[in-house]
Amino acid sequence: MGVTEITIYGIVSFIGYIIVGIRLMKLCEASSVGSGWFAFVPILNFTRWARLAGKNPWLVLLFFIPVVGVVLELLWINKISEHTGTKSPWFWVFLIFTLGGWGVASIFSGVMLYIALLVVAVLMIASQWMIFDPTKPIAGVADNS
């Protein structure tokens, strides 16, 4: 991948981060989870995921252990998708492209790698958009932070 491809992928990822952050913030507000603006702060945004999944936000510290963070992310998004009623098919899209995204680099090269990474990014954004549905607030997860 050249500079142009990396730049475009970075722009798409950044736009996706903002889009998902807005959706997560609105779900936090609808679910009475405090500090919805944490959705835009790296690492702190996962504390909101933990709260929405009904877990202790201090578990985010385990994200610094390789593989544990991905497992927690999948468990929490599963619980959030169950609570919001968006489990099927969006959780499965998220699961497949979270795990499959690692294999993209080993399968593709050149322009196909760039296209595959963009598809993975767009599908990850779409799945999180659907799972973090603020019209379906999660009851019983409010906190005072």
Q: What is the pLDDT of residue 40?
A: 93
Q: What is the pLDDT of residue 135?
A: 87
Note the pTM of the prediction, 2 decimals: 0.80
Residues 6+ apart with CB under 8 A from 37: 25
Q: Exposure string (b/e) for 123-138, b if CB count within 10 Å is 16 or more?
A: bbbbbbbbbbbbeebb
- Which residue in the block uniquely carries the two structure tokens 């510290």? 61
pLDDT at 144 over 60: no
